[in-house]
A and B are shown apart, each in its own frame.
Chain A
Amino acid sequence: MINHILNPSDKTLLLTIPGDLLSTNTDQIKKEIHAIIESASVKSAGWTTLKLDLTAAKMIDSVGLNLVVSLYKEAKKNNAKTTAVISNPNIQRTFLFTRLDTHIQVVMA
């Protein structure tokens, strides 16, 4: 279950991912996120920052990274920046050696 919070003051859409992003669960997570982004309240909010809370994740594989990239592209299309909040050093390394940290701001919680 993906939780989301829309903060009107700084126009941030916060999506909280409940665990790992892996080939075995990413399809379902993707559907839930798209339902949130496509909802009328979120669409009309004009958010300028997409914040992905990945602090519960211990592993993100290539399929999970694909989802992160597609969300980054979606945000960019809306002239919004993307931030990933993580807590696991291995996830930080994954962002580093796939060079996604050059596009997405990665924040260690």
Chain B
Amino acid sequence: MTDTNASATDKVILAVDDEAVSRTLLAYFLNKAGYHTVTLDSAEAARKYIAQHGPTAVHCVVTDYRMPGETGLELLIWLKQQDRALSVIMITATTERDFVAETLRGGAVDFLDKPIAEAALIQSVKRAIELTIRDREMAEAERAISQVGQTQHQLFGLSAEAAKRVEVCFRPRHQAGGDFVNYFQLSPTSFLVLTADVSGHDLHAAFVSAYFQGLVRGMLESGQALETVLTKFNSFLIDEWGIRQGNDDHTTTQASVCLCTALVDLAATSLTLMNHGFPQPWHVSPEGRIVQCATVNSHPLGWFNELTLHPFQQSNPTGGRLIMWTDGLEDLAEALGVSRLALATALQLAQASGHKTPQIAQAKDDVLVVSIQITPNLFTAPQWFPVLHEIYPGSKTPPIDQWQTLWENSLSLAVPTLPESRRFDVILALRETVINALAHGCAGNPELKTSLTISVNLVQRTLRIIISDPGPGHDFTRKPHEADDELADMHRGLSLINRLATQITSNRNGAEVILDFRY
């Protein structure tokens, strides 16, 4: 708390001037106002004093600009190197006005004309002391937040057991915050991953985060059910944390926590998700299929006394991996004009390979991406990474050029090793297949939808596109004589797709088509 009302006598002012008369006058005015004044006759003497007592022993420096030896400006620059919060007031002659701008750029908080007017001096010193105290407190808070942030980042280091299944990519924007991931091995074949985002980017958020992580671990280890832990923490946020922050009437939310828990039972091949205000997680199957996980979204913890828990269990016979992220990723993906899945993949791959992702500099929030392997045998699981998942309404004239930009941006970001000529093939085939699905599969009806997913297998160097529409199907296999009739007016799009893709697989009579592109 800034103690601007504290007694002036405990505030030390350095008055630096080579003229004895000016020093006497400064000391007289300042002492009269109650300040403890130390008079010094040169910049060198001021340096010596600061070096001996430390910069924080002084609350304000009032210095003449023109002095033999070092000028007041040189002293100012040196003082700022010792303590950037220490306020300096520069005294100048009227003829030295040109130097004023320079001294202000150097960090002086004010300047005073000679001869010194008592009222102006006292008013300026009072303001300078307030600024010194405020800036020192802010610097101290920044140091504390930075230390907490470093501790938080260390917490992201997962155990060796967890690291086999969980990959975490955390790109903090702020020095401290509330994003975290916890892994709990519940039995040899089951584990729980808890991913959360505590509101705020300050010490409060960091403390809430640390408290919650400790609470979860302690309660789970003592055999409590996850639902009990969440209910307990929700009550803590509303009844205790809120009151501690001065919110007696419970009308203001002091801290809230968005979280998603994934309980994986490999023996039972089941996955149970609970989502409280967290972005919906995604599942990538061993075949490269991408689906948004079905969960029942509930409100974040800390909002309401009543906490409705919706554990959503889904059978997971095929394994694959689960991907989730905090909303910082969604904002960044929108700013970059790429799909969220492409950005999540790009960040994960960059982290794994040690490459930098310059795009992250545009993030306005912390970005956390978590990938969880839910395949029983980790060594045989094919590694498909998601690039894009879109749902398009049926249309005879879809805004395909706009979508193409998203496809291109997403592919460039997530699969930078895809050669330019192959990217051209993929984009051209996408245009043809999506237009075909929307115009024919959906019959141009916007009530009917076409889904498009793109995933990449880096080991097999294969890009997989799956396009599915609700129509009766299409014949993607062109007969040889049709394929050879290059001047035929019909089916040129289907012929193109056949020649661009490495392999085409049709399901549901062609209503779902899988295009593989080797590169």
Residues of A within 8 A of B (CB): 22-24, 59, 61-63, 65-66, 69, 72-73, 89-90, 93-94, 97-100, 102-103
Closest Cβ of chain A: how far from B86's Cβ, in Å? Answer: 60
Partner of A103, one of B421, B486, B495: B486
Partner of B489, one of A22, A69, A100: A69
Task: Verify A102–B486 contact, CB threshold 8 A.
Answer: yes
- 22 A/B residue pairs, CB under 8 Å, sorted by A: A22-B400, A22-B431, A24-B401, A59-B424, A59-B427, A59-B428, A61-B431, A61-B493, A61-B496, A62-B432, A69-B487, A69-B489, A69-B492, A89-B421, A94-B496, A97-B499, A97-B500, A98-B492, A98-B495, A98-B499, A100-B486, A103-B486
B431 contacts which chain A residues (CB < 8 A)?
22-23, 61
Task: Verify A99–B401 contact, CB threshold 8 A.
Answer: no
Residue of B with least CB distance to A90: B424
Residue of A with least CB distance to B489: A66
A93-B489 in contact given A23-B431, A24-B400, A98-B499 (Cβ < 8 Å): no
Task: Verify B486–A93 contact, CB threshold 8 A.
Answer: no
> What's the Cα separation between A2 and B484 when bound, in Å?
31
A24 contacts which chain B residues (CB < 8 A)?
397, 400-401
B493 contacts which chain A residues (CB < 8 A)?
61-63
Contact-residue bracket for chain B: 20 to 34
A59 contacts which chain B residues (CB < 8 A)?
424, 427-428
> What's the Cα separation between A23 and B430 when bound, in Å?
13
B30 contacts which chain A residues (CB < 8 A)?
none
Closest Cβ of chain B: how far from A72's Cβ, in Å? Answer: 8
Residue of B with least CB distance to A73: B487
Residues of B within 8 A of A (CB): 397, 400-401, 421, 424, 427-428, 431-432, 435, 484, 486-487, 489, 492-493, 495-496, 499-500
> What's the Cα separation between A22 and B432 when bound, in Å?
10
A98 contacts which chain B residues (CB < 8 A)?
486, 492, 495-496, 499
> What's the Cα separation between A62 and B486 when bound, in Å?
11
Task: Verify A99–B421 contact, CB threshold 8 A.
Answer: no
Secondary structure at the B interface, as helix, strand, loop or mixed, is helix
> What's the Cα separation between A93 and B435 when bound, in Å?
22
> What's the Cα separation between A66 and B492 when bound, in Å?
8
Residue of A with least CB distance to B421: A90
B435 contacts which chain A residues (CB < 8 A)?
23
Task: Verify B421–A61 contact, CB threshold 8 A.
Answer: no
Residue of B with least CB distance to A101: B486
Residue of A with least CB distance to B423: A90
Give 17 new A-B contacts, CB below 8 A, not counting A69-B487, A90-B424.
Answer: A22-B400, A22-B401, A22-B431, A23-B400, A24-B397, A24-B400, A59-B427, A61-B428, A61-B431, A61-B496, A62-B493, A66-B492, A69-B492, A93-B421, A94-B428, A98-B486, A100-B486
Closest Cβ of chain A: how far from B492's Cβ, in Å? Answer: 4
> What's the Cα separation between A66 and B489 when bound, in Å?
7
Closest Cβ of chain A: how far from B494's Cβ, in Å? Answer: 8
> What's the Cα separation between A93 and B401 when bound, in Å?
21
Closest Cβ of chain B: how far from A98's Cβ, in Å? Answer: 6
> What's the Cα separation between A84 and B397 when bound, in Å?
28
Residue of B with least CB distance to A65: B492
Nearest 5 Cβ contacts at the A-B interface: A62-B493, A62-B492, A99-B486, A90-B424, A97-B499
